[in-house]
Amino acid sequence: MLENAIKNEQTLNNVKGYRAWLQYSKIEDKRMDEEYRSWFSAIGVAGDTSITNSAIKELSDGIESMLDVAPTVNVDSLQTASIILGTYQDIWIEDYGMSPELFGDLNNEGYVLKTTPNDNGEKKILLIGKTDKGILYATYHLLRLIQSRKPIHSLDIVDAPKNQFRMMNQWDNIDGTIERGYSGKSIFYYENDFSEDLERIKDYARLLSSTGLNAISINNVNVWDVETNLISKQYLPKVERVANIFRAYGITLFLSINYASPIALGNLDTADPLDEKVRAWWKKKVEEIYQYIPDFGGFIVKADSENRPGPFSYDRDHADGANVLAEALKPFNGILIWRCFVYNNLQDWRDRSTDRARAAYDNFKPIDGQFLDNVILQIKNGPMDFQVREPVSPLLGALKKTNQLLELQVAQEYTGQQKDVCYLIPQWKEILDFDTYAKGEGTKIKNIAGGTTYNNSNSGIAAVSNIGNDINWTGNTLAQANLYGFGRLTWNPDLTTEEITRDWIHLTFGHDPLVVENIEYILLNSWKTYENYTVPLGIGWMVNPGHHYGPNIDGYEYSAWGTYHFADRDGIGVDRTVETGTGYTSQYFPPNVEWYNSLDSCPDELLLFFHHVPYTHVLKSGETVIQHIYNTHFKGVEEVEDFIYKWDKLVGSIDNRIFENVKERLYLQLKNATDWRDKINTYFYRKSGISDNKNRTIY
């Protein structure tokens, strides 16, 4: 019914859910409307690039929508303009009291956003970028301020991103499906070809750029037969067309590739990275790609994991495999991103010396320093697979001579699949603020990702996308907050969760106090709530195999044994200690290794990830493990009921389509939470034989 209703709209941009946080809603406050209007009679622009033109259009459209005025745009005529856009080299900034030295310390995406009088005393707002990318980011910053109803009469902002690479990974397949996609089909592909809806791709570029993202890969890391051809002449003209769209918004395009492409596309009999025929083939292929896309970002590779081809087939290591590709890309300033998600998905967990958590570190730590300088190793935030709670990967920080990229997952594969609300910014903040002690106290993940810890030439943060062709992009409208928050955190990991949350709510829903209060409450509590009714104390998994939604306590699909948690009648958890377990704890730097290895100091929320304990083990909270399981699962359901109560209070205060969309999802979440509660509690009651001390019904 929603799809049919949308077809009657003039454009998708009439749909609030589609506009996401770029609502640009009409300002109803007359005082603020008058204040803002006084600034936007004319926009002066110095320079003419596709990125600058995007900034002009975004600013003009946003102002017209919010203030109902259409400012004139004067190219290379700044005298009469009240808003001035340009780079510090294109504008005589000394006339406005600024020195070029101010831009010396900024990276190429930095900017100054400043209200200042010129020599005649006329006040102007300057959006001055180090490059045209800085102009675009300054434009989005100004628009955020206006959308948030902030004053702009005395701006003095100098800003630049903390991370060089701020990247979105699409897991889209060329048949139009999305691996781990929960928001419809691909916006890029349709029935083994590229989509003709370029306007939707452009709007996605706008959304990403507005949060500060600057790179995207547009196909799944699992590259199958048809997708292999994306680097062939059959598809490169269409890849070029998409690259042109993203380029205009400061976003560089990458492609995931099949490591066996020399065989599949080049008719070679090998993909051995040390074979000269293979090296020559990749060099020729890369040269061909850059003829179509001169600023092509490079390749992403998933190799030797989950049955994907890689250098192991030829008795080569990951450095051999990555360097042959990096060597071909290097003359064009291209980047090779090599994923560290490598493990034997058929390993037998009955042998506790085999620990999937160890795989990334064991594979890559020994070859640190053997990669070319245009190789980046992309490392998942945890050692397992985007669980609701797991420790930070010990490989992050352990590589002292290799570029590294932190990988997060905006798509809620194991965190509710955009049916359940699970706001991930609090989780990501914990990860980014985690102290690795790699170079002593204060060596946090955000410093490693930002490249400052080891002076990495290429570094940053990437994430798996959560968007599809659903009208609201993300299935559940509240899941847009994860996409927005990811971009803002990659730009500045020091932003607080509360700042990001409030900004997103104001941009998306406006300023009604009840709307802000209730949505903020739901978002800020949702991660802990999801953890409460799903997996306890860091144990992970326990989901249905294959699709990964809903409880299946013994359903761990990547194990010949068929379970992950090692629960028996006496206790639960995975022993990863040095003395009696898998030795995984030894991969951390001191004092983390001692904290995790000791039962006394290991934090409760990760206890069962690191230790096998009796059900009667007393947590630091004072609860036993079994009572914690019972309590949290009952509490999680009650919290979802509270979310529904708070959401229902907003009827009539927000767009009805959005209201009904989220309401429907919350009731799905309640059903899911109840299912988790009953199955988990019943399982562990029967396994342990210990009753709930609050005498609640356990089936």
- The residues that are catalytic are 306, 385, 413
How many angstroms separate the CA atoms of 265 and 278, rounded? 11
Residues paired with 124 in a beta bridge: 116
| Count of helix runs (H) and strand runs (E) in the chain | 20, 16
How many angstroms separate the CA atoms of 84 and 353, rounded? 63
How many angstroms separate the CA atoms of 169 and 299, rounded? 12
Residue type, 103: F
Burial label for 352, CB within 10 Å (0-12, 13-18, 19+), is middle
How many angstroms separate the CA atoms of 582 and 351, rounded? 10
Those residues whose C-beta lies under 8 Å from the C-beta of residue 428, and which sit 6 or more positions away, are: 381, 408, 485, 486, 489
For β-strands 156-159 and 111-117, DSSP reports them as antiparallel
Helix (H) or strand (E) holding 431: helix 425-432
591 upstream amide cis, omega within 30 of 0: yes
DSSP assigned state of 616 = T
Kindly tell me the sign of the dihedral angle through the C-alpha atoms of 353, 357, 359, 364: negative
How many angstroms separate the CA atoms of 308 and 283, rounded? 22
How many angstroms separate the CA atoms of 636 and 638, rounded? 5
- Nearest of 490, 421, 319 to residue 641 by alpha carbon: 421
Count Cβ atoms below 10 Å from residue 686 Cβ, excluding itself: 11
DSSP letter string over 36-81?
HHTT-SEEEE----HHHHHHHHHHHHHHHHHHS---EEEET--TT-
Burial label for 651, CB within 10 Å (0-12, 13-18, 19+), is exposed
How many angstroms separate the CA atoms of 173 and 195, rounded? 12
Residues paired with 303 in a beta bridge: none
CB 295 within 8 A of CB 248: no
Helix (H, G, I), strand (E, B) or coil at 640: helix
